[in-house]
Structure 1
């Protein structure tokens, strides 16, 4: 596969204060890395991630610096331990006096999480052994453990359970050189945000330079404006295709400009198996819709752009395996033409996608004097997915608040680069 160059967002820690409340703010910075598959737990999203949100923090005693992918679609955090490859960063548990492996008799070892392909078990040393399976058919395994995790220059320190994994990684070596593991941020009991005890967290990603910020705690910024909240969907009965600890919201309608797609409301609701839930996932780059909804959106977007965009007439070209609506745009053109907006209407809130967030320039793909741009909505059916997924590309310039206490997500349109300047990061 051709190696392309994409942007990776790098978070570096900094502690900030407002005049009324203390909060922990982490500014986003950019770094170029080659693309490659990012390993994901089972029952998640089986496609490559070319842009990842990462957070830098320290673990252990004395502290070791690590960089972890911020993923609201996963529960268990893990670190690569004792890497056998010189270019891979790793956490060394033998150098931490506060590191503590978890025995298989511990209640933590029997905690249910969808991140495990099989239940955790005992190894020969009576330690809790876990196996994580990935979309590329590889797997990684290691032991559950706990250690001190420190963020914000040591302002927040907590003993946290994580996976100390040491085998089976197959992701791109250059991407490996940037990250040490994954930070699970969903609503499960073993997620990082649950273990740290934060009642809410927010992030804001800039659409101009991909910078932004991550905030733990209550923002209370009057300049953000009122947030529109949508409740998190709760289902108490276990269903085979429903992730009960994901950030699940109810998508109700989709509009292209002011035209609502002619779809029944029931098509957006999970069925009796749980298939069809709508998840907000920071670990996913783009947004994916079930086949019938994607087809209706594609048809209407094509109709409204027929006079301003030239379709790429290559039926076999499908970007990232699920994005089959692509265009040819002259490389000499400084900006994209005026595009119709796409509005995702949730219960109580609306997210409007406009401008360059609608089309993604595929690096390295040139047709004569034209660049290739693809529609940033994909068909989840092409990936054998059973869910709607709202990726972070469509969360640019949106203040995203995850309120765990009140079980809701808040949206507000914000210029995220200006937000960073206002907070002083």
Structure 2
């Protein structure tokens, strides 16, 4: 998502549109607010992947328990287990109190949920002294949370009840950003794992559309039968059943086959984009990561070609020691008085059966609050995953702006179509 530079406490409002299909329920749709808040430093990270270095935390307000307790949870399509802060002595209003919920149920070690459904966790679960299922979730920025698996009733807008939803009731952990983490109650996992919210809801398809110009956006569970939506082009999800050390089996993995800058295809073999025998080199579509990260050799080739095609158009920063967010070392100086960026060569990501075009303002990101003399600093929105110690290609949400992105689990494919997401929100009758 491409957000304007705003103050730390400013809020942008998104909308969550959910089509639910539950037995014995006559409800067909529900609209919830999804908030995007600018933060000063990394907030939440994703297991087995790079840390959230983005400046925006997406949150959704839910109610959990009986009677319902209001919680605010980070929405993450790259994580499996949802979790809530369940500290025994809450120090902030962002804690969930399990002892006040009559529908709260801790999960024992003997439960199949503990013994079989946790196989894709980063760390194996254990049994605590009370014979309850204990989990530790560790993240790429060295933060972690730990506690017991439990189940309770989740409620959307206090109307749609989802009983028996499994989550982590976390009572301890370490954080890279305690101030920001204290403003949310936990995290909603949305990947393909058996304990993600998507899987537990039984949803076989969901979509989202992120606007690049304003605060409107849509997340939709269920089939998108929308007459005004362009036909989607699909690329198959790549699945590997054998456990490999560097392959995330429950991520939304597709096959990147090449990259084109304007009319020039990077002179790279297709094999460089394919996972190797360890699983390193998978390509993940992830709304929880802001920018796109490429393995070192591919990133270097793209960087050199972009530099070649923008020579005389953009002025390089000229500071070899400046690396934005630890992985983005191609940055430029742009006059503060310049309102519009110059014409830039587009970068097309070539997937099997689908192309994703990254053009215009999506190619450069203005570093908030940083100037050099009378210039702003802009950085190329592709980074080097090798610098982060990540053995994967990750397609971030910044490059998914104004695209309808559909995750079709029933047919094991990802669909893309260019669309004005602000107009999509209007057509769905959502508030601006």
Normalization by structure 2: what TM-score? Answer: 0.91
Report the 3-state secondary structure (helix = DSSP H, G, I; strand = E; otherwise coil) of the residue aligned with 1:300.
helix
Q: Which one of the candidate residues 380, 389, 395 is aligned to 2:394?
A: 389
- Give the direction of change, closer, same or farther, for the CA distance of 1:27–1:406 in structure 2 (3 Å limit): farther
Contact 1:53 1:282 in 2 (8 A): no
Q: Which one of the candidate residues 325, 328, 342 is aligned to 1:323?
A: 328
- Give the direction of change, closer, same or farther, for the CA distance of 1:88–1:44 in structure 2 (3 Å limit): farther
Deviation, structure 1 residue 84: 4.8
Show the counterpart of 2:216: 211
Equivalent positions of 1:246-265 (< 5 A) are 246-265=251-270
1:76 lines up with 2:81 in the alignment: yes
Deviation, structure 1 residue 15: 6.4
Contact 1:54 1:69 in 2 (8 A): yes
Mapped partners of 1:203, 1:52: distance in 2: 16
Deviations 1:11-58 (A, max 9, x none): 5556689xxx944454545434333342432x2214523223222221
Q: Which one of the candidate residues 378, 381, 397 is aligned to 1:376?
A: 381
Contact 1:88 1:173 in 2 (8 A): no
Show the counterpart of 1:92: 97
Show the counterpart of 2:370: 365
Deviations 1:277-332 (A, max 9, x none): 00011111110000011011101111111121110000010001000000001111
Mapped partners of 2:342, 2:9: distance in 1: 23
Mapped partners of 1:16, 1:342: distance in 2: 34
Deviation, structure 1 residue 112: 5.2
Deviation, structure 1 residue 86: 3.1
Normalization by structure 1: what TM-score? Answer: 0.92
Deviations 1:93-116 (A, max 9, x none): 111111100001111112354764
- Give the direction of change, closer, same or farther, for the CA distance of 1:272–1:14 in structure 2 (3 Å limit): closer
Show the counterpart of 2:44: 38
Mapped partners of 1:150, 1:31: distance in 2: 23
Report the 3-state secondary structure (helix = DSSP H, G, I; strand = E; otherwise coil) of the residue aligned with 1:209.
coil
Q: Which one of the candidate residues 272, 279, 282 is aligned to 2:277?
A: 272
Mapped partners of 1:137, 1:29: distance in 2: 26
Contact 1:14 1:152 in 2 (8 A): no
- Aligned CA-pair RMSD: 2.2
Mapped partners of 2:117, 2:392: distance in 1: 21
Unaligned runs of 5+ in 1: none
Mapped partners of 1:14, 1:259: distance in 2: 40
- Give the direction of change, closer, same or farther, for the CA distance of 1:27–1:8 in structure 2 (3 Å limit): same
Show the counterpart of 2:357: 352
Contact 2:42 2:52 in 1 (8 A): no
Report the 3-state secondary structure (helix = DSSP H, G, I; strand = E; otherwise coil) of the residue aligned with 1:193.
helix
Show the counterpart of 1:141: 146
Deviation, structure 1 residue 154: 2.1
Unaligned runs of 5+ in 2: 1-6, 21-26
- Give the direction of change, closer, same or farther, for the CA distance of 1:83–1:362 in structure 2 (3 Å limit): farther
Contact 2:17 2:221 in 1 (8 A): no
Of 129-138 and 342-351, the range deviating more from structure 2: 129-138
- Give the direction of change, closer, same or farther, for the CA distance of 1:16–1:385 in structure 2 (3 Å limit): closer
Deviation, structure 1 residue 68: 1.6
Mapped partners of 1:152, 1:47: distance in 2: 28
Q: Which one of the candidate residues 291, 314, 332 is aligned to 1:309?
A: 314
- Give the direction of change, closer, same or farther, for the CA distance of 1:190–1:10 in structure 2 (3 Å limit): farther
Mapped partners of 1:105, 1:394: distance in 2: 44
- Give the direction of change, closer, same or farther, for the CA distance of 1:217–1:361 in structure 2 (3 Å limit): same
Mapped partners of 1:86, 1:22: distance in 2: 38
Report the 3-state secondary structure (helix = DSSP H, G, I; strand = E; otherwise coil) of the residue aligned with 1:89.
coil
Deviation, structure 1 residue 218: 1.1
Show the counterpart of 1:333: 338
- Give the direction of change, closer, same or farther, for the CA distance of 1:275–1:56 in structure 2 (3 Å limit): same
Of 45-54 and 111-120, the range deviating more from structure 2: 111-120
- Give the direction of change, closer, same or farther, for the CA distance of 1:322–1:16 in structure 2 (3 Å limit): same
Deviation, structure 1 residue 211: 2.8
Mapped partners of 1:7, 1:252: distance in 2: 40
Show the counterpart of 2:23: none
Report the 3-state secondary structure (helix = DSSP H, G, I; strand = E; otherwise coil) of the residue aligned with 2:355.
strand
Report the 3-state secondary structure (helix = DSSP H, G, I; strand = E; otherwise coil) of the residue aligned with 1:168.
strand
Contact 1:6 1:51 in 2 (8 A): no
Q: Which one of the candidate residues 103, 111, 118 is aligned to 1:106?
A: 111
